[in-house]
Amino acid sequence: INFDIVMIQDEPVSKSKTRAAGFKKLANNSFKKKDYFSAAGSYSVAMMLDPDDATMYSNRSLCSLRMGDGDKALIDANECRKMRPDWPTACYRQGAALMLLKDYKGACEHFLDGLKLDPANTEIEDALRKAYDAMQDVSQHQG
C-alpha cells in the first residue's frame, strides 16, 4: 500500500473518517475470508485515517491472534483498552493475547476485569476458566 496516497494533508476530518470506514469494510471482508494478513493491513490504514476508533485496534489485535503473534496482539489490545477502559472486549483481547504468550496469571487478571464489566458474558467466563486451569497446570508441573 502506498501510504502517500492514503494520507492527504489538510483533508477534512469527515472525509478521512469516510475513507477509514471504507478500509475498515475491506478489512472486515478480508477477515471473513480468513485472510488475516490483508485484514490487518487494511485496519492499519483505517487507523491512520481515524486513529480514535478503538474497534480497529481490537480487530487488528484479533488478526494478530489468529496469525499467532501474541506480542502484536497485546500491543493493540493494550492500546484499545487505554482508549476504552470500560469495554469488556478490550479486556478479552488482552487476556487472549496473554494466553498466547503463556502468561496465564496476567490473562486471568484481564479476563476477570472483563467479567466485572460484563458479568453475563459467557465467552469471557469460559476464557477465564481456561486461563485459571492453565495456570494451575503450570504450577502443578513446577511444584
In three-state secondary structure terms, 38 is helix
Question: In this predicted structure, what is the pLDDT of residue 142?
Answer: 75
Q: Give per-residue pLDDT as tens, 39-90.
A: 999 999 999 999 999 999 999 999 999 999 999 999 999 999 999 999 999 9
What CATH number is given to the structural domain containing 29?
1.25.40.10
Using 50, 70 and 90 to split pLDDT, how confident is the model at 2? very low
**41 contacts 1 by C-beta, under 8 angstroms:** yes
Residue 84 lies in a domain: yes
**51 contacts 80 by C-beta, under 8 angstroms:** no
State mean pLDDT over 110-125: 97
Residue 8 lies in a domain: no
Q: What range does the domain containing 35 cover?
A: 13-141
Question: In this predicted structure, what is the pLDDT of residue 9?
Answer: 54
Split into its structural domains, the chain has a count of 1
What does the block give as the cell for 24? 475498515
Rounded to whole angstroms, the Cα distance separating 3 from 143 reads: 52
Distances (CA, A) of 122 to 86, 111, 119: 17, 11, 8
The whole-model pTM stands at 0.88
Residue 104 pLDDT more than 50? yes
Residue 17 lies in a domain: yes
In three-state secondary structure terms, 134 is helix
Rounded to whole angstroms, the Cα distance separating 51 from 74 reads: 18
